[in-house]
Amino acid sequence: MSHDSTAAPEAAARKLSGRRRKEIVAVLLFSGGPIFESSIPLSVFGIDRQDAGVPRYRLLVCAGEEGPLRTTGGLELTAPNGLEAISRAGTVVVPAWRSITSPPPEEALDALRRAHEEGARIVGLCTGAFVLAAAGLLDGRPATTHWMYAPTLAKRYPSVHVDPRELFVDDGDVLTSAGTAAGIDLCLHIVRTDHGNEAAGALARRLVVPPRRSGGQERYLDRSLPEEIGADPLAEVVAWALEHLHEQFDVETLAARAYMSRRTFDRRFRSLTGSAPLQWLITQRVLQAQRLLETSDYSVDEVAGRCGFRSPVALRGHFRRQLGSSPAAYRAAYRARRPQNDKPGDHHDGPHGVPGPSPMAPEHAPVPLQARRTAAASALAPSASMSTEGAKPELYATGRLPGQRSAP
């Protein structure tokens, strides 16, 4: 799923200053950045594919700080341009930032602010959203980033409306994406916006990726919340909730355990995690249901009861909304892909009938009390179970999207 904002009228009406050109894309690189994310805009906007029907962009690779720039793996890069080259670009892309805890160089932030003031489209891929936020370009706007860093982005920049569910967010003149492959989704979206579906489809076929993915980050989310929550009093409440998912309780129960009013609890929880507590609780129950469907032979009705849902109907509704599949179809597809020597019932029941680790699934058993304050920082939503693995190559050659997979 992507979010295309109906952006503010003033954003839609913005014009590029005279020295900027719409077809010029500047990619801003920093030392310590991951090379994969950094290479995405270089590949999308820097290679001439006019023979395939893809309009050409002019790429400017710019160093955001003094070089040489060292990437993951110790590679050294020398960017051909400095920050001054950004002044010619109609689009500026920040593909990644090396650390979500350290501030970007002020000179780079100033260059981004000037570019935005002069009408340039500003794009942050993955942790590049932190650079845009530091420049103040996301204030009051919807944005996303890698699900693992979304809570930290929401906490550090409370004026940013962080949505960890989206693959990318288009807010007109400022765009952000989730991690890694979602950067490709956003770059394809930019090509689609600039030149139409046919051009984006042609580029997608060259890259051997779907032209447009449906769904969002929910299917990839882990239990891990940001480490900052480990020292917060709410960590104990989160830990308790994770240990008692088999019980029927609501957000009011959690607020009472935190000795807060519901309104205060909602505000505090969202500031720490970037997620509303009710949505967090529902996604945790769905995640627990995923585990049980993968590692046990319990019926769907039994799974619903063991995950705190009031009825199997409630489980089915939330499961389908989050994962695009019914629980029964999810289990069938999961087992169809399971190695031959794995048996459906190979599990050992832990507390409350929740199965323990099995060869088919990573361990998600409750953690010891002393570790829970850190692990309780762990809970935004479902696991990385669903993928486009198994999609047939010929689907990309014809420009047809592979069918939406309802389960892994």
pLDDT 10s digit of each residue in the chain, 408 long? 465 544 444 444 578 888 899 999 999 999 988 888 889 999 999 999 999 889 999 999 999 998 788 887 778 888 999 999 999 999 999 999 988 888 999 999 999 999 999 999 999 999 999 999 999 999 999 999 988 788 788 888 989 988 877 899 999 999 999 988 899 999 999 999 999 999 999 999 999 998 888 766 665 555 445 554 555 668 788 888 888 999 999 999 999 998 899 999 998 888 776 678 998 899 889 888 988 998 899 999 999 999 999 999 999 999 988 777 899 988 988 887 665 545 554 443 343 333 333 333 333 333 333 333 333 333 333 333 333 333 333 333 333 333 333 222
pLDDT value of position 169: 95
- Among residues 134, 100, 132, the alpha carbon closest in space to that of 227 is found at 100
- Among residues 130, 163, 363, the alpha carbon closest in space to that of 279 is found at 163
pLDDT value of position 16: 87
- Among residues 197, 188, 164, 176, the alpha carbon closest in space to that of 274 is found at 164
- The residues near 112 (Cβ < 8 Å, ≥ 6 apart) are 28, 86, 92, 94, 122, 131, 132, 135, 137
* Cα–Cα distances in angstroms (integers) from residue 143 to residues 121, 162, 169, 326, in the given order: 14, 5, 6, 30
Place of tokens 């930290």: 152
Helix/strand/coil for 48: coil
Q: What are the E-state strand segments in 52-211?
A: 58-63, 69-70, 76-77, 89-94, 121-124, 142-143, 161-162, 168-170, 174-177
pLDDT value of position 27: 97
pLDDT value of position 220: 59
d(CA 51, CA 17): 31
- Among residues 214, 150, 143, 127, the alpha carbon closest in space to that of 379 is found at 150
pLDDT value of position 191: 96
d(CA 332, CA 313): 19
- The residues near 277 (Cβ < 8 Å, ≥ 6 apart) are 251, 254, 255, 265, 266, 269, 270
Sign of the C-alpha dihedral, residues 181, 400, 207, 24?
A: negative
- The residues near 334 (Cβ < 8 Å, ≥ 6 apart) are 293, 294, 385, 407, 408
- Region class of 136: left (phi > 0), else alpha (psi between -120 and 50), else beta: left
- The residues near 263 (Cβ < 8 Å, ≥ 6 apart) are none
d(CA 288, CA 242): 9
Tokens at 407, concatenated: 């389960």
pTM exceeds 0.85: no
Beta bridge partners of 361: 358
Instruction: Return contacts of 312-319, CB within 8 angstroms, 24+ apart.
Output: 315/285, 315/286, 315/289, 318/282, 318/285, 318/286, 319/286, 319/289
Q: What single DSSP character describes residue 232?
A: S
Are 35 and 73 in contact, with CB atoms under 8 Å apart? yes
- Among residues 102, 18, 93, the alpha carbon closest in space to that of 57 is found at 93
Are 220 and 384 in contact, with CB atoms under 8 Å apart? yes
Are 356 and 365 in contact, with CB atoms under 8 Å apart? yes
CB atoms within 10 A of CB 1: 13
Helix/strand/coil for 99: coil
pLDDT value of position 52: 86
Are 174 and 139 in contact, with CB atoms under 8 Å apart? no
pLDDT value of position 243: 84
d(CA 129, CA 166): 13
